[in-house]
Amino acid sequence: MQYKSIKKEEWDNTLENLLLSYAIFAGIPNDASQDYEELRAVDIPKIIYNKPKPATSLKSFFLPVKENVTSENVVKERIIIGIPNCDIEALSILDEIYLDEDFPDINYRERRNNTILISTDCIGIQEHCHCLTYDIMPFSTNTADLAVIFLNGTMILRIITGKGEGFLSTVFPAAIALEDEDILSVIEKEHHATETLLSSANKGLPDYKKTGNLVSGANADMWKRHSARCVSCGACTTICPTCTCFLLIDKPGFEKVKQMDACQYPGFERVAGGGDGLFELPNRFRNRYMCKYVWKPGKFRSTACTGCGRCIEACIGKINKNEIFMELAK
């Protein structure tokens, strides 16, 4: 892949100029960790590079919590910086669902078209990161437009798409081709070190396919036991970068508001006649795992869990899906 480099000072100055024509979002530190925030000029030096990961996922940029889908939604040109690859890979399944040939969602498509995605390579891991277990690398080579690595005062940019290449040559004309083998080898070493950390932290955790087999073979007692601590708050699905379920709410004038929903909420599958296949908590709890590891893999090309670990962090019942999978794998 082609790399270019630019001095950090120049990168920061250009971002400041870009604020005039783009809405720019980036991972910014907060009291707890970091999250995607809309940038002001004073935030530019605070942007976090190389480090996983914003507390919330990328999906709300493309699937707002609530939107009127019958009116025209104009989206300003946007740049999002510092996206870890778990979030980038999650866009693949969102694209499959929302840009399918039969029923493309024009609001989603507008947002995708109007956004430049600048990923960042993860150097190091967070407690629950497990992307590599599901064959997702901690750095982007697909779907993002560019990937950025901050090394020794220099921003190094990997060019991934034609859109990224065009953007880079237009707004960063000073970026120069990087062919220094030493720097490229440092990047490769950092990738390797992160992969080693991920492998070691997730030793024994079954891979994506094996997880699917374990989940579909798990017995009712197992689901009952592990769901006992679930309060059906939906935090896991809300924070998940690949969960996309929603409700359509009717408003006067035949307008429709689309609001994110969660299969973990009671009544998700209820029909007017009273039938509800997910009425029982263990069934609802199981549904999320079956959806991510068994059903969606049978239906879509893209992965329905990218191993970001946010659902583990968000769970107020301290349910750790990876501990469940390790138990099943015993």
Partner 1 sequence: MVNGRNIYKPIMASLTDVIDESPLIKTFVLVPENGFSFKTGQFIELSVDGIGEAPFTPSSSPLITEKLEVTVMKTGYVTECMHKLKPGVFMGIRGPFGRGYPIESFYGKEVLILGGGCGLAPIRSLLYALEGIKDKLIKVTLCYGSKTPADCIYKPLFDRLNKTEKFEAFRTVDKADEGWDGSVGVVTTLLNRIKYDITKSIAVVCGPPIMMKFGTIRLLEMGYKDEQIYLSMEKNMSCGLGKCGHCMMGEFFVCKDGPVFTYNELKNTPDIWK
Q: Residues 197, 247, 281, 326: which binds partner 1 (CB under 8 A)?
A: 247
Q: Could you list the beta-strand ranges (E) of the chain.
A: 3-7, 23-29, 34-38, 66-68, 78-83, 115-120, 146-151, 154-159, 176-177, 246-251, 255-260
Run of H or E including 193: helix 181-201
The CA distance from 108 to 31, in Å, is: 31
- Of the two residues 21 and 71, which places its CB atom closer to partner 1 in the complex? 71
- Of the two residues 161 and 300, which places its CB atom closer to partner 1 in the complex? 300
The CA distance from 290 to 212, in Å, is: 7
Cα dist from 200 to 73, 126, 193, 203, whole Å: 45, 13, 11, 5
Q: Residues 20, 74, 103, 221: which binds partner 1 (CB under 8 A)?
A: 103
- Of the two residues 16 and 96, which places its CB atom closer to partner 1 in the complex? 96
User: What x-and-dash track marks residues 279-298 binding partner 1 by CB under 8 A?
Assistant: ----x------xx---x--x
Number of residues that bind partner 1 (CB under 8 A): 40
Query: Considering only CA atoms, which of 115, 128, 148, 257 is closest in space to residue 197?
Result: 128
CA angle, corner 265, sides to 263 and 270, nearest 5?
75
Q: Residues 20, 127, 153, 254: which binds partner 1 (CB under 8 A)?
A: 254
| Residues 37-96 interacting with partner 1 (rule: CB under 8 A) | 69-70
Is 251 among the residues that bind partner 1 (CB under 8 A)?
yes
- Of the two residues 106 and 193, which places its CB atom closer to partner 1 in the complex? 106
The nearest distance, CB 90 to partner 1, in angstroms, is 15
* Interface positions with partner 1 (CB under 8 A): 69-70, 97-98, 100, 102-106, 244-254, 256, 258, 261, 263, 268-273, 275-277, 283, 290-291, 295, 298-299
